Amino acid sequence: MQVLNPEDAKRFLIANNLGEHLTRLAPDTFRTEVTKDVGRRCAYANMLTNHLVTSESAIACLDITDWDVWPSAQNLDLFYSYRRYLGEHRSLKDAHFHVFTAAEANEFRNILHLGLISLFDVAGASTTTDFRFYASHDEWIQVAWHEDVEWRETTEWFFAP
């Protein structure tokens, strides 16, 4: 896992044709699910990871923002402890953009899961698919959606039209 500062994150996104930053998805290009169920967020973390880490050459990224909106729902000590375990000692303020290889899919899923249960804003993308998502601290998740998407069958039951 690499964790990038904002300037390096922008360079990474541009170099990998992912835009200049990860944000909410454009209107009419996504499906949304709202949930307050923490167990369901675990299932989301698994599903989203599987749709972003699609091959051995995949490089997936997570941009974590707005991590201080609901302090009562967060355990920043747990989050930072896991990042330190992975070798990252900077704060989210200094480095909030995470990059993972396919071999680090479990770490990707764990960081995502911690972000979802902590009600952080988390956006994700990958170099091997145009699947993207944006999860809000307001307990909704947007996933990229259009008529011919290859992931429609495996995600449709999760997300309301």
Render 28-43 in DSSP notation, one character per residue: TSEEEEE---HHHHHH
Is the model's pLDDT at 161 over the cut of 90? no
Structural domains in the chain (count): 1
Residue 37 domain boundaries: 2-19+29-155
Q: Is residue 102 part of a domain?
A: yes
Q: Is residue 143 part of a domain?
A: yes
Is the model's pLDDT at 43 over the cut of 90? no
Q: Is residue 24 part of a domain?
A: no
| Per-range mean pLDDT, top range of 43-47, 49-53, 96-100 | 96-100
Q: Is residue 8 part of a domain?
A: yes
Identify whether the C-beta of residue 54 lies closer than 8 Å to the C-beta of residue 126: yes
Q: Is residue 161 part of a domain?
A: no
Q: Is residue 160 part of a domain?
A: no
With cut-offs at 50, 70 and 90, classify the pLDDT of residue 12: very high
Is the model's pLDDT at 70 over the cut of 80? no
Identify whether the C-beta of residue 128 lies closer than 8 Å to the C-beta of residue 139: no
pLDDT above 70 covers a percentage of the chain that reads 90
Dihedrals phi, psi of 73, to nearest 5 degrees: -100, 0
List, in sequence order, every residue forming a beta bridge with 142; answer none if it has no partner.
32, 134
What's residue 15's pLDDT?
94
Q: Tokens 């998740």 — which residue?
A: 141
Q: Is residue 89 part of a domain?
A: yes
* Mean per-residue pLDDT, 5-26: 87
Render 110-150 in DSSP notation, one character per residue: HHHHHHHHTT-EEEEEESS-S--EEE-TTSEEEEE--TT-T
What's residue 73's pLDDT?
76
Q: Is residue 109 part of a domain?
A: yes
CA–CA dist 55, 127 (Å, integer): 10
With cut-offs at 50, 70 and 90, classify the pLDDT of residue 157: low
**Mean pLDDT over each residue of the chain, to the nearest integer:** 87
